[in-house]
Every structure is written in C-alpha cells, then in structure tokens.
Structure 1
Amino acid sequence: MSTPDGYRRVSIDSSRASEVLHVDSFAFAFTVPDKDRDFLTQILPWERTRAIEVADASRGTVGTLAAVHASFEFGMQVPGGHQIPTSGLTWVGVHPGHRRRGLLRDMIDDHFERSLGRGEAVSILIAAETEIYQRFGYGLATSDIQMELGRSVGLRDFPGADALIVEIDTANVDRHGDTMRAVQARQTRPGMVTQWDSHTVADVLMDLDADRDGAEELRIAIVRDGDEPVAWALFQRKLGWGSSGPDGRTRVRMWASTSPAATHRLVKVLTDFDLMSTTVMRNFTADDPLLLRIKDIRGAKLAVRDMIWLRVLDVPAALQARSYAADCDVALAITDKQLPGNEGTWRIRASEGTATVTRTDEPADVTVAAQELGAAYLGGTTFAQLHAAALVSEHRPDAVRDLSRAFACEVAPAGNLFF
C-alpha cells in the first residue's frame, strides 16, 4: 500500500520531539506543562521513531507532522523459556486534522515492514482502544486481573514471607533502575519483556505532574531476601477524607516478583499504609497463587482487563521460536491479507517440544486468521476456545484438539510493562 496522496513517510530524531508531542497531545487529549515538555527525548527510541509528514499544501502546512509512531526493541518470553525478537509498537497517533485519510493504516504497514527488516517476528502493543488494532491482525494474547483491595486485606500466611526485608523510597532511575532490571530479568511467564534498555527504564520511572492527579510523587517498594531483590512495585498514594475519617487510595502503577512469597510480602506492605483505605493493583493472572490466599475473594473486587495485543509478523520464525506441550502434525491455513508472506497453508510438525513449520500445498486441517493466531500464540487462549467461538474452522476431525494440546502452556501468559 502506498502512502496517501499529499503525505510522505519520514524518520525523525529527538530534535522533533516537540512536534511528536504536539501530534499525540491532540490525538490523546492531554496537555504537558512547559517544564516537562522535553520528557519524550528520554523515553522514545529515536532510531526507531517514524512519522508521516505533510508533503502537499492541499493537505496542510508542508513539512509538519500529521501522524507518528515508534517501536521499542524487546525480547519477549515465549512458551518454553525462550525469547523472541519483538517490536513494541508505541506512541501511535494521528492528528485529528488528518484523520480518515488512511494514515494509520500506512503507519502500520511501515511498522510491519521495518520490524520484519530487523528480524522481529512478532509485534505487541497496549491498546488505548481495543477495536482499532484488531483490523490489523492483533489478537488479545494476555489478559490480567485487577484487584481493589481494602486496608490490611486478609491473607492466609505464606511460609517465609514475613522474613523478607522491605525498603520504601522515592523512585529514582539511578538508585533503583538496576534493581528493577534484575527482578524483571527473572520473569519467566510468556509475554513478559525481561530485558529493559535505558529508554524503557526511563519510561517506566517517568513521573510527570500532569499524570499525578493530585497524588504524591512516584514511590517504590523493594522486597529483598537478604541482599537479593526479589520483588518491587511502583506506587502513588492520594490522600482523601470521608465522613468517617481518612479515605486515601494507593494506585500501584507496576510491579514484578520472582516468587509467591515475595508477592505475598509485597501485597501486605502495599495494602497497609496509614490513611489509605484502598489499594488498586493490576497484572495478576488467574493462576497467581496469591488469589488462593485471599480470605475474602469477593471483597477483592476482581476485574478482568485486556493487556498484550500480539501480531505474528513472520509465521515460521514465530512458531519455531516457542516450545510445544504435545506432539502434533497439522496443516494450518492462515488468512493474512496485510502480510501476504504469511498467507497460505503451513504444516506444523511438533515433536519433543520443538516444531518445524513449512509451507505445504496439502489440504488444510484448520483455518485461522492472523488475529486469532496472535491470540493463541502465547498459550493464553486455546484453539479449542477459538473454535467454540466460531473463529477457527476445522476441516479434519480432532485437528483443533491437536493444536490446542500442542500450543498449551503450563502457566498463564502475562505482561507487566505499559509502553
């Protein structure tokens, strides 16, 4: 697909950060105070930042930016403990004065082309609006559970948790960046981005006045087992007063843990601050042991949220990068009009945990669209579920069952990085 008439694709660097901020502030309806307006220079990977520029005066002032996007270079965990080169699509925005002209579709095409050129087999994103990216083949690969916990939530004791040391401080890149990276590097669930570069650390720890909504500056809680960090959480408290006294709220922006004991200790600390009556945390999975230790699970006010949306860019590279829970031999037909290199029938032969994926002219056993392949890739959604929802077609008896068993994962996939 060619770029719409009157526009051109361009690579941009940090000298145009204010223009990027201008486009996205209109796209997402926010305003950043002048004193904070240079924050994008720290958090965007400028060597991977792209834009669409006005090239014809009939479309606006020539040389101004009409749309922008960037992509982080990630290594993401996949089933089997392996990592796959991943492109993290971010800061996607079209100025409202240039909408409905095909600019978003052109940016997605550009993102796919450049990601494939770098050898990145999948793309992931966190969606501001969930319907938009399904048009481009992104499937919901991980969901998470949000909990709203009351003061000193009742938890059944966990052996060894109370002996872990807790440190609480104002969050700082220089003091805490390496500690956070060390814990993140030990995350094993599929979907977790475990290696953070300097852009990612700066983004995670960015603390703008405009984002606080009256809350305190960004704080960090670190759990240690001796000298070793085993968990951390970034949080902010906002003091409030009700008719019966203090009614503050703690919002946990992000957290990571290496063990159930560390998670238990972290949650007990975060839910027991003076003057705070409620703590909100996301990024729990349905199989997290902590959920089994909450005495009043109804009182936790659980809500399921979408998290990682995933797009397979290179079918053989992506499918051969992960491990398989059962053997299978299935001819999988994939429909993918946006990436014709993926379209067609692929034979997946999995044996002893690994698979070979090759093109075949044989009749397909199962047909799946790119969006559903993305949803099933990390094992969080099964082919059997997709088939029951009439989103996958079966042409040979038991072929969907074979795929479901092969793609299954012992633990639920997860993500904790908002980017």
Structure 2
Amino acid sequence: MTIDLRPPAAGDWDEFVLRLERAFGEPAMTSEERAMWRDFLPLEQALTARADGGIVGTAGAFDFRMTVPGGTLLDVAGVTMVSVQPTHRRRGVLTAMMRRQLDDFRERGLAVAVLLASEPSIYGRFGYGTATRQLHGRIDTTRVTVQAPPGADAVRLRLVTPAEGVAACEAVYARAVPGRPGMLARQPEWERLALLDPPADRGGFGARLCVLAEVDGEVRGYARYSVKAGGTALGVPDGTVKLKDLEALDPVTYAALWRYLTDVDLVARLVFHNRPADDPVQQIVSDIRRCNFSWRDGLYVRLVDLPAALAARAYAAPLDVVLDVEDPFCPWNTGRWRLSGDAKGAVCERTGDPADLALAARELGTAYLGGHGLRALAGAGLVTELRPGALAEASAAFRSDLEPWVPHGF
C-alpha cells in the first residue's frame, strides 16, 4: 500500500476531525470544540496519511514549553490527534506518521516530544517512555474530613463563573508551572481549554464552577469543579463533586480549597481523575482508606535529540556517567554518551570511553522527568549496570524532588 503523507489543507479540517472521531468511536465535537482545536493546531504541524483515495491516518503536534528538572522551560512537541482508520490498521500507517513526525521535530531543533497515549502498548516501539503518573480518587465526604493547618480559616473563598475567574486562575497557574517537572506553560489562547464545558459532555453534572481562594486580597489558589445532585430512596443526599483542576501557592490555601470541596452541601463524594502522584491531599485526609486512591500512566516522553535533552535539565546529585544507548527508531541517538552534571546544569557529548550503563532510548524517556528511577528500571531488566556504583549514582541524580505531572490533556 502506498501511503501519501502531507499536511491537511485548510479545507480538509472537517474531514480530518471526522476521521479522528471515527477512529476513536467518539461523538462529534461541537462547533466550539472544532474551532478551538483548529486555532490551537497549526496545519503545517499536522499530518494526513492518504491511501486508497482518502484520509486513513491523522496526527498533529502542538508547540509547548514544559518544565524539566531544575525549573527550565524546554520547547517540546506535544503529539496529538493520532489516529488510524480501522480499515487500515497494521499496514504501516502509524509507523510512517511517527517516522515523519520525529524527523520533522529533529529538523526544527526540538529535543523532546511528549504525548498522552490512548493505549499504553502503542508508543513504546517508537521510543516513548511512561514518564509521569496520575492520581485518581473517589473520596467519601460523609466519612472523610480535611485536616487544615492553622490559618486556613483566614482564607477567603469566593465563588465565580470560570469565565469571571480565568485571569486570576491563569496568574496562579503561571506561578506554579516552574515548580514541578512536566507542567506545561500556558500557550496563548489555551486558557480556553479550561472554559470548555459543553452541556452534552457533562454527564448529568451542572455547569462548571470556580472558587477563588484569597489571602489579604491576593488570589493564592483556585479550584474548578462541577456538582451532580442526587439522593437515595430515603431522601438522603447522595450528590457528587467532580474536580476539574486545582492549584494553590501555599499549603494553607491548598488545604482550605480541599476542605471546601469535601464539605459541599448535599453531596456524598468527591471524585477527581488527574492529580500529581504525590499530591499532598493524601496527607491531609482523615481516612486514606475511604479515598479510593489509584494511579495510572500519564505523560509519555521521547528524547528526539538525546544530548540536547539530557543537557537541558539539572540533576539532583553530581554525576559523571557514560551511557550506551540503543535507539533503532532514531539511530542518531544510538551510541555512547558521557553525561556530566549537577544541580546547576549538565553537558552530554559523544565518547569512546567504556560504558557505565546500557539502556534503550525509551527508558531514558521514562526517567527523563525524574518520576521513575533508573534503579527500578534496572530491576525490570531494562537498564544494565556495567560499572559498579554507576546505577546508584545515576538513579539518584535523575530523580526529581517532586513527582512530574502534566495537568491537562491535549
């Protein structure tokens, strides 16, 4: 089968979206959603795979700036809208699109690509490693309370619409971004994503609300959420609060917001589906067993330009290690690399010196943001120690003080 890869023309957008929806079996986007994603995605950074007279595959890439360990904002490609029509699976369409994308990213000088996988098994063969985790929870608010620190009662909470609060929320979010690896700086117009709330997608929940948390007149945090009313046959309130997102600049404001969310009238539970794996909510609830916490994979990371990517981040401990890297899909990364760095920065260069660790590019992607230790990967047989002590040195250096996390989908 001949596959023709090319960016969609301006008139192809509706068909591009239709093919994407069909591949995922999803209902049609609203006109507002279609317009928003079209505004976000430059068509020259999208791909259509054409065969047998039509579009059989789609892919795109957003321009993001992502925090890496040390606080630097790194330009990255956010891979998105990847689909293959069910009639053309296992015929090389996805491989062709991944090949073209990674070549394009390299030509543009991007060191890292990231994505959120619809299925975990798909992208490892292209060198993407699972780099972050998401915390999910279902808190029984009839039995669980939040233990707020002193000062929480002085936090003023103000309920507004998401549109009314968007500027204040964006200011808080921008201050939080440098503090945690994996967070994405808000690109122009992307605040619209948090305001998107189509009635057809609410699943019985009401319109989204926004609560602002103020201290001495300054907004120090926010939460956006929705509520579904409900009751038992005996008239006992049985509603649900669904948290969309929450950010706070200090522990007191943070606890005040969680206390508010778990104390909404006429509800019996609070649910959320994407918080950092180490979110402090786990420490302030009165009964962790009634919170039904679980974790799942989050962001996948691919090193496109290995030396540039490894030199762009800082390291938690001094290291000087030679990595023997295997990367068949991006062969320019294959070989031995000396990585030397510390908390102030790093250098990564080709070397002929004997290797200390051997691993594949996928495992470097998994470890890149500091959420998964190289020692754990070695325990799974995915990293081989060639010099005694090198694994402990590198594993400690790669780790992040905070678990990496991406706060929203794309």
TM range (shorter): over 0.9
State the TM-score, normalizing by the size of structure 1: 0.90
Mapped contact 1:170–1:220 kept (Cα < 8 A): yes
CA contact (8 A) 1:7 1:52 kept: no
1:31-50 matched pairs, under 5 angstroms: 31-32=27-28, 36-43=30-37, 44-50=40-46
Q: Distance in 2 between the 1:254 and 1:297 partners?
A: 20
Q: 2:194, 2:93 → 1: CA distance?
A: 28
Q: Paired residue for 2:297?
A: 306
In the alignment, the residues of structure 2 paired with residue 256 and residue 129 of structure 1 have an alpha-carbon distance, to the nearest angstrom, of 28
Gaps of 5+ in 2: none
Task: Encode CA deviations 1:322-367: one digit per residue, 9 max, x unaligned.
Answer: 1112222111011111111111110011246322100012221101
* CA offsets 1:188-234 (integer angstroms, 9 cap, x no match): 11111123321x22233222233212222222222222343222222
Amino acid at match of 1:310: V
Alpha-carbon separation, structure 1, partners of 2:322 and 2:277: 32
Q: Which residue of 2 aligns with 1:16?
A: 12
Quote the residue 1:177 is aligned against: 166
Tell which deviates more after alignment, 391-400 or 97-106.
97-106
* CA distance, structure 1, for counterparts of residue 224 and residue 106 of structure 2: 34
Structure-1 residue corresponding to 2:134:
144
Gaps of 5+ in 1: none
1:260-285 deviation per Cα after TM superposition (whole angstroms, max 9, x unaligned): 22221111222222222111124444
Corresponding position of 1:94: 84
Please say if residues 18 and 38 of structure 1, whose CA atoms lie closer than 8 Å, have aligned partners that are also in contact: no
Q: Which amino acid aligns with 2:74?
A: I
Q: 1:95-134 alignment to 2 at 5 Å?
A: 95-134=85-124
Q: Deviations over 1:290-345 (max 9, x none)?
A: 32221111111111121111111111111111111222211101111111111111
Alignment pair present for 1:54 and 2:45: no
Q: For 1:299 and 1:41, how far apart are their aligned partners in 2?
A: 41
User: For residues 285-300 of structure 1, what are the structure 2 equivalents within 5 Å?
Assistant: 285-300=276-291
- 1:308-347 aligned at under 5 Å gives the runs 308-347=299-338
Distance 1:7 1:356, change over 3 A: same
What is the CA–CA distance in structure 2 between the aligned matches of 1:162 and 1:194, rounded to whole Å?
A: 31
- d(CA) in 2 for partners of 1:346, 1:391: 18
- Give deviations 1:152-190, integer Å, cap 9, x for gaps: 631223122222222223323xx3433232122112111
User: Offset at 1:97?
Assistant: 2.3
RMSD: 2.0
Q: Which moved more, 1:380-389 or 1:146-155?
A: 146-155
Residue in 2 aligned with 1:241? 231
Query: 8 Å contact 1:12–1:49 — kept in the other structure?
Result: no
Q: Which residue of 1 aligns with 2:57?
A: 67
State the number of aligned residues: 404
TM-score where L is the length of structure 2: 0.92
Report the equivalent of 1:400.
391
Q: Residue type matched to 1:255 in 2?
A: L
In structure 2, what is the Cα distance between the partners aligned to 1:378 and 1:297?
Answer: 27
Maintained 8 Å contact 1:159/1:261 = yes
Asked if 1:83 corresponds to 2:73, the answer is yes
Counterpart Cα distance in 2 of 1:394 and 1:171: 51
Mapped pair 1:413 → 2:407:
no
* Preserved contact between residue 56 and residue 85 of structure 2 (Cα < 8 Å): yes
1:371 and 2:371 are equivalent in the alignment: no
Identical residues among aligned pairs (%): 33
Quote how far apart the aligned CAs of 1:12 are.
Answer: 2.4
* C-alpha distance 406-197 of structure 1, shift in aligned 2 (>3 A): same
Return closer, same or farther for 1:97/1:352 CA change in 2, 3 Å cut-off.
closer
